[in-house]
Amino acid sequence: MSAPLGVILAGGLATRMGGGDKGALPLGGSTLLGHVITQLSPQVSEIALNANGDATRFAHLKLSVIADSIDGFAGPLAGVLAGLDWAAKQGASSIVTVAADTPFFPSDLVAQLQLAAAGMEHPLALAATPDPKRGTSRHPTFGLWPVALRNDLRTALNDGLRKVVQWTDGHNGKLAMFPIGQNDPFFNVNTPEDLAKAELML
C-alpha cells in the first residue's frame, strides 16, 4: 500500500500553555514539533504543517505550511480540510493527520489506519485506544482521510459541523485500535506539567 501524505495539525490556540506555538516548546534536545516530524516522516511520502498566521515562522522546517480555509478556528476538521485540499493539488488520494502536541504516537500509525480502512471505497479511519471507563477512546486528530470526501467535509463545516466523530461516523469511519503500554501513545502536551511529564517519558 502506498504511503499517504502527512499533515501535522498545529492550528490550535494553545491557550493552556499561554498561547503561541505549542510545537516550538523544547523537548529532549529538540522541540515538540521536531519529535512529531521525526515520528511521522518514515510513515508518509511528504509532510505539510497546518498552521494559521505568519507561515514564515516555520521556514526553518522546510515544510509546506497550509492555513485553514474556514474562518474562526473551526477546530481540527478545518485543518483536515486544508490538508485534503493540499493533497488534491498533489494528485494524492489520502492524507494521515497527527497532532503537533503528541510526540509519542505509534510508529505503525499509518499502517494500522490503512489496515482498519481496507476495503472501503473511501478509506476513513481514526486511531483509538482501550478506555477502562468508556470502553474505547477515539483520537480524532489522528486519522486517515480520503481526498474524495473533501467537498462533503467543506459543506459540513460551512453548515456548522465541528465534531470530528460526528462526520466520520456519518461516513462509516473505522477505528484502528492501539494498545496502551507503559505510556499512552497518544499522550498530548496541554500544560507545563504535561511538558515536564513528556521529558520523563523520553
Specify the pLDDT at position 16: 43
Specify the pLDDT at position 20: 63
CA of 52: how far to CAs of 21, 86, 98, in Å?
10, 15, 16
Among the residues of the chain, which ranges form H helices? 32-40, 76-90, 109-116, 150-158, 164-170, 192-201
Give the DSSP letter string of 14-50. Answer: -GGGTSS-GGGSEETTEEHHHHHHHHHGGGSS-EEEE
pTM here is 0.94
Cβ–Cβ under 8 Å, residues 127 and 140? no
In three-state secondary structure terms, 165 is helix
Specify the pLDDT at position 171: 97
Rounded CA-CA distance 192/190 in Å is: 7
Specify the pLDDT at position 12: 62
* Set of cell numbers at residue 123: 478509506
Taking CB atoms within 8 Å and a gap of at least 24, the contacts of 134-137 are 136/175, 136/177
Helix (H), strand (E) at residue 135: strand 135-146
Instruction: Kindly list the averaged pLDDT for each block of 10 residues, start to end, along the chain of length 202.
Output: 91 52 89 96 97 91 93 87 97 97 97 98 97 92 98 95 95 97 92 93 89
Specify the pLDDT at position 35: 96
**CA torsion, points 119, 123, 124, 129, in degrees to nearest 10?**
50
Specify the pLDDT at position 59: 93
Cβ–Cβ under 8 Å, residues 192 and 17? yes
Specify the pLDDT at position 88: 97
Cβ–Cβ under 8 Å, residues 171 and 143? no
Q: How many domains does the chain have?
A: 1
Structural domain of residue 31, as residue ranges? 5-201
CATH number of the domain within which 145 lies: 3.90.550.10
Rounded CA-CA distance 125/122 in Å is: 10
